[in-house]
Amino acid sequence: MLILDTTAPAEDVLGGVWDDLLADDVPRFEAFLDQALAPQQEYLTDDERALYRHGKRLRPAVLLLAARMVHGSAPPPDKVLQGAVSLEMLHVATLIHDDIVDGAALRRGLPSVNAARGTETAVLVGDLQFVQAIRGFVRTIDRDSDMGLIELVLDTAFQIGCGELDELRTDLSQDPELLARTYWRTADRKTAALFGLAAEAGVTLADGRSGDARRAGFYGRRLGRALQVMDDLFDLAQDEAGSGKPRGMDLLRRRASLPLIYAMQEWGPQHAVSRIMRGEAVGPGALERTLAEVRGGRGFSRAYTDARAQALEAVELLRPFPAGRYRYALEDLALHVVDRGA
Task: Give the pLDDT confidence score for residue 144 in this predicted structure.
Answer: 76
Task: Give the pLDDT confidence score for residue 4 in this predicted structure.
Answer: 63
Please report, to the nearest 10 degrees, the dihedral formed by the alpha carbons of residues 169, 174, 175, 180 taken in order.
Answer: 0
Nearest to 242 by CA among 342, 103, 341: 341
Nearest to 164 by CA among 130, 194, 187: 187
User: What DSSP element (H or E) covers 41?
Assistant: none
Task: Give the pLDDT confidence score for residue 312 in this predicted structure.
Answer: 98
Question: 183, 208 in Cβ contact below 8 A?
Answer: no
- Residue 114, classified by CB atoms within 10 Å of its CB into exposed (0-12), middle (13-18) or buried (19+), is buried
Contacts of 292 (CB under 8 A, 6+ apart): none
* The model scores a pTM over 0.85: yes
Task: Give the pLDDT confidence score for residue 286 in this predicted structure.
Answer: 87
Nearest to 215 by CA among 62, 341, 336, 320: 320
Single-letter code of the amino acid located at 309: A
Strand partners, 111: 106
Q: Rounded distance, CA 152 to CA 139, Å?
A: 15
Q: Rounded distance, CA 333 to CA 234, Å?
A: 17
Q: For the chain, 342 residues long, give each residue's pLDDT as a single digit of tens.
A: 565 654 445 557 888 899 999 999 999 999 999 999 999 999 999 988 988 988 889 999 999 999 999 999 999 999 999 999 999 999 999 999 988 888 888 787 788 889 989 999 999 999 999 999 999 999 998 877 778 899 999 999 999 999 999 998 988 888 999 999 999 999 999 999 999 999 999 999 999 999 999 999 999 999 999 999 999 999 999 776 555 567 888 998 899 999 999 999 999 999 999 999 998 888 878 888 999 999 999 999 999 999 999 999 999 999 999 999 999 999 999 999 999 754
Question: 27, 331 in Cβ contact below 8 A?
Answer: no
CA angle 322, 323, 325 (to 5 degrees): 120
User: What DSSP element (H or E) covers 324?
Assistant: none
Question: 160, 134 in Cβ contact below 8 A?
Answer: no
Give the 3-state secondary structure of residue 328. Answer: helix
Task: Give the pLDDT confidence score for residue 299 in this predicted structure.
Answer: 96
> What is the number of other CB atoms lying within 10 angstroms of the CB of residue 32?
21
Task: Give the pLDDT confidence score for residue 341 in this predicted structure.
Answer: 57
Q: Rounded distance, CA 222 to CA 320, Å?
A: 16
CA angle 224, 208, 145 (to 5 degrees): 100
Residue 234, CB-side half-sphere exposure with 13 Å CA sphere: 25
Q: Rounded distance, CA 90 to CA 95, Å?
A: 9
Per-residue DSSP letters for 76-130?
PPHHHHHHHHHHHHHHHHHHHHHHHHHT-SEETTEE-HHHHH-HHHHHHHHHHHH
Strand partners, 107: 110
Q: What angle separates helix 210-237 from helix 193-205, to the nearest 10 degrees?
A: 150
Q: Rounded distance, CA 75 to CA 241, Å?
A: 40
Question: 308, 196 in Cβ contact below 8 A?
Answer: no
Question: 50, 110 in Cβ contact below 8 A?
Answer: yes
Beta strand residue intervals within the chain, DSSP E: 106-107, 110-111
Q: Rounded distance, CA 321 to CA 315, Å?
A: 11
